[in-house]
Structure 1
């Protein structure tokens, strides 16, 4: 209970106590926009974690730490800055459930595309299809191209005057003697 002091015109003071709900009237009103902003915040964080945690594996841990701070700050905000919200019965999340479902499906596709782009699965399947070989024993040779040392203009500058017994260099690319292979265009 909080004390409220009233000074009368004739000099007497009286102390009256107010109930907490009477002092809550002076706090900021909780509207529907407040809950909307909280859902948006959760949705953005979920989207980043679901779509990009494969690129940054520590992201879920960082999100958990962020959520711990977020819970505390929201609790302080609800206790001291906002009026007590009136509870409403809801059986589902409404439209937010469909948004989270769509976001989950997009995240699955994003993770699949990320894996396909960053690993050699596509090039291995293409090698098996083009070369008609089930075994991947020659796959490394297939992915490396040749650069003949005699074709270089500035051999002395590159090798710093050293005479090396090297005839070619291998590098990762899909080329046949400086021309592009069919896989290069895929």
Structure 2
């Protein structure tokens, strides 16, 4: 536990360590992350409900932690490194995916180390996906340069751009 001035603490930060007794995280938390009410599972609450053929896939990605919230929907972008020194590309990998749980990743707003565009906030999100999508997200989390979540407007359920890829020439 660390003391933190109230003005820098997240709005739903726990102020009493006793509140953690018996608590369970609803999402995976990296070392050093803030423990807030939003990332704790309510005692007796079940894990996020998924139906037959669905999975709850947990990822850490770039995105706005204030806009990516449980119950919201996101699109998932995957940026791959190129092969043999060639530039990579970014692809719209998943569209209109339901967010089951989300939390900001503490200390994630860091400058990029290689001069790339990797700076920005990161969010830990649990997404409702198919088995195939869960396997893809797991591989992307391991091998892609970056995953990015784009929050969708509440009423925006349009589809049709899945697989859209943009390369270094922005085409």
Provide TM-score, normalisation by structure 2: 0.20
TM-score scaled by length of structure 1: 0.19
When you count helix as a share of all residues, which structure comes out higher?
1
For CA contacts below 8 A with separation 6 or more, give which structure has more relative contact order: 2
Q: Which has the larger radius of gyration?
A: 1
Q: Which has the higher strand share?
A: 2
